[in-house]
Structure 1
Amino acid sequence: MAETSIILHHYPRSPFAEKIRIAFGIKGAHWGAVEQPRMAPKPDLTALTGGYRRIPVLQIGADIYCDTRCILRELERRIPAPSLHPAAARGIAEIIAAWADRHLFACALGLVFGLHGDRFPPELHADRARFTAGKFDGWDSAKMKPRIPELRIQLRQYLTWLEQGLHDGRVFLLGDAASLADLAVYHPLWYARNNLGDDAGLQDFRRLTAWLRRIEAIGHGTMESRSPAQAHAIAREATPAPARYCPDANDTYEQGARLRIIPTDWGFDAVEGELAGIDRDTIALRRDDAALGSIVVHFPRDGFSVTRAE
């Protein structure tokens, strides 16, 4: 399948979308970009996903990949070189990525909205409060402000760890090549720097700021803008690829079972469909959409709750 069949549903200021855009740069990928709204409603996106509205979402024909972990696994499968997984440190890369996506990003997010939340429109605060079910102090900047000193200390501790990790002059976090670890650490710092400037404190960490410049220089590969209507037409005309069905011995869901998948951290929008594929890392549901036809939506297993649909 040609690389140009890869479509990313994103918006430019999304930090998690930046994680994928840099991955495209590492891979030298050609990709289509569909810009989606920053806030709900997102009808052109949820028509493809069945309700999931977190950004980014990857589309390849009638296969839809949700969450950056699932997206990166599929990208690695389709464009294996250069790999995002260092051969000698694959598990370490996954551990660093899990920490950065959750803890480093949450710290950066808290500082951005605590220090400069008044720069964002009230409707964005309201949307994010609904989206996260009251987490992050309900995205209320006034409630976040008392936590600023603690968050500054926490972020500085994280930046110190990263600076120490680069002390031996290595080019990237795990060696001479950029990896999943670099992608996951970069996007929270990209978000903090773009929204806080010097308030992020990055200028005090010489090795880390040099590393940030190296990641930024990778770029985003070759992008071609697409419209939501074009993306829908591609999905409508395509047939989903056969999904891998390799259940764990502890899995209790039979192929074709009607299931319901919901994120466990934020964005609790449920997606229902028939089980099309499952393995250790991913689960895929088939949906039949009146306008788009048969679509298979893929999720990572980590961070998502799976139950039988009632």
Structure 2
Amino acid sequence: MADGSDRSIKLYHYTFSPYARKVLWYLALRQLPYAEVKQPPMLPRPDREAIGVAYRRIPFLTVGKDVYCDTRIMLKKLEELFPEGKIGATTPDGQALQKLLEIWHVEAGLFVKATQTMPSDMPILKDPKFAKDREQFSGRPWNGEMIDRNRPEALAYVRGAFSFLENTLLADGREWILKTKQPMLADIEAVWIVHWLSTLKGALPQETFSKSSFPKVFAYINRFDKAVQSAKSNGPQPTTLDGKTAADQIFKSGFAEKEGAIEDGEPQNLRKGEQVEVFPTDSGFSHRDKGILLSLNSDEIVIGLENGLRLHTPRTGFRVRQVNSKI
């Protein structure tokens, strides 16, 4: 930590978010103490507004006065800020595979296809408020007809993902992706979507995704589940905070890391200290955070919010630009 101040972790999430599960699993496997601030599955989220954050996606995480948006940067920062006992890959080959699994699931579109496997008769998909929220979130129509139209192609895509795991990464009978003695970050990156779909009633038709067709994948999911449950049982239990208490603690904290700088050769020619806005480019893009540009490199964008907090996002999948820019 940069200044020896509060290092407490706070995770804003709702229980059935598949992205939140990634972080919850990580925290359990690392046995890191944290507090959770439970959120509703759709807007409004006044707890987010209480700390001045426009970013609308779930989860997001704070360490001190630093706010981390997007699970890719959350897991990266937890590895860096709490290095003792970290579970990220350490060899070049392992790091490459871990990163490629992350890209495959998030940036290459596997998650989007996975969401399209949900059957249209799921109760939450029939909720008009939820449908409207997701239309605003994604910028696309969200209705039963659209879901039914996209589902067969999505199932074919996801079946390809199951086949890849079954016939390549797990084909030699390994327990864990990097042939370790326990699950690592690479396993979280590999398992989270197939795990989520296996628990989502009606998402995976039995005739297409049976345990006899993909025995290694389903055994891997079960093995991972048991490891996480064991870690949860033997580790610290999270505390639960209401939004006001969490906000009060955050504003009284110090920063988790040093401010940073603009990387040499930055192609956008943005300058430290100028007013910028930051937002995701694939979903939730109408909710834009504005602040002072503090740090910018190929991996990360950091801005200072007006209230004194620092907001961190990945560079990939996010846009940073001068306020009022048309670009």
TM-score, normalization by structure 1: 0.90
**Deviation, structure 1 residue 19:** 0.6
| Counterpart check, 1:301 vs 2:301 | no
Equivalences, count: 303
Inter-CA distance 86–26: structure 2 relative to 1 (3 Å threshold): farther
Q: Structure 1: which amino acid aligns with 2:113?
A: C
CA distance in structure 2 between the aligned counterparts of 1:234 and 1:71, rounded to whole angstroms: 19
The answer to which structure has the higher helix fraction is 1
CA distance in structure 2 between the aligned counterparts of 1:3 and 1:43, rounded to whole angstroms: 24
Q: Secondary structure at the match of 2:55?
A: coil
Inter-CA distance 27–3: structure 2 relative to 1 (3 Å threshold): farther
**Which range moves more in the overlay, 240-249 or 9-18?**
240-249
1:140-289 alignment runs, 5 A limit: 140-164=143-167, 165-176=169-180, 177-196=182-201, 199=205, 201=209, 203=211, 204-217=213-226, 218-219=228-229, 220=232, 221-222=235-236, 223-240=238-255, 241-251=257-267, 252-268=269-285, 269-289=287-307
Contact 1:113-1:139 within 8 A present in 2 as well: no
**Deviation, structure 1 residue 129:** 0.9
Q: Secondary structure at the match of 1:167?
A: coil
**Deviation, structure 1 residue 246:** 4.6
**Deviation, structure 1 residue 148:** 2.5
Contact 2:263-2:297 within 8 A present in 1 as well: yes
CA distance in structure 2 between the aligned counterparts of 1:100 and 1:21, rounded to whole angstroms: 18
**Deviation, structure 1 residue 230:** 1.5
1:51-200 alignment runs, 5 A limit: 51-80=54-83, 81-87=85-91, 88-102=93-107, 103-114=109-120, 116=122, 120-134=126-140, 138-164=141-167, 165-176=169-180, 177-196=182-201, 199=205
Q: Structure 1: which amino acid aligns with 2:127?
A: P
The answer to which structure has the higher strand fraction is 1
CA distance in structure 1 between the aligned counterparts of 2:149 and 2:305, rounded to whole angstroms: 45
CA distance in structure 1 between the aligned counterparts of 2:253 and 2:151, rounded to whole angstroms: 49
Q: Structure 1: which amino acid aligns with 2:81?
A: R
Q: Deviations over 1:144-199 (max 9, x none)?
A: 21333222222212101111120111112232253433223322223212223563
Contact 1:48-1:64 within 8 A present in 2 as well: no
Aligned-residue CA RMSD (Å): 2.2
**Deviation, structure 1 residue 212:** 0.7
Contact 1:115-1:145 within 8 A present in 2 as well: no
Inter-CA distance 46–53: structure 2 relative to 1 (3 Å threshold): farther
Q: Deviations over 1:36-83 (max 9, x none)?
A: 111011121133353101001011121100000110111001222232
**Which range moves more in the overlay, 269-278 or 138-147?**
138-147
The structure 1 segments of at least 4 consecutive aligned residues displaced by more than 6 Å after TM superposition are: 1-4
CA distance in structure 2 between the aligned counterparts of 1:109 and 1:123, rounded to whole angstroms: 18
Contact 1:104-1:185 within 8 A present in 2 as well: no
Identical aligned pairs, as a percentage? 26
Contact 1:49-1:64 within 8 A present in 2 as well: no
Inter-CA distance 46–113: structure 2 relative to 1 (3 Å threshold): farther
CA distance in structure 2 between the aligned counterparts of 1:191 and 1:115, rounded to whole angstroms: 18
Inter-CA distance 4–296: structure 2 relative to 1 (3 Å threshold): closer
Q: Structure 1: which amino acid aligns with 2:173?
A: G
Contact 2:262-2:272 within 8 A present in 1 as well: no
CA distance in structure 2 between the aligned counterparts of 1:49 and 1:295, rounded to whole angstroms: 8
Q: Structure 2: which amino acid aligns with 1:216?
A: D
Q: Structure 2: which amino acid aligns with 1:303?
A: G
Contact 1:34-1:228 within 8 A present in 2 as well: yes
Q: Structure 2: which amino acid aligns with 1:242?
A: K
Structure 2 residue ranges without an equivalent (≥5): none
Structure 1 residue ranges without an equivalent (≥5): none
Contact 2:50-2:244 within 8 A present in 1 as well: no
CA distance in structure 2 between the aligned counterparts of 1:277 and 1:231, rounded to whole angstroms: 26
Q: Secondary structure at the match of 2:27?
A: helix
CA distance in structure 2 between the aligned counterparts of 1:256 and 1:124, rounded to whole angstroms: 39
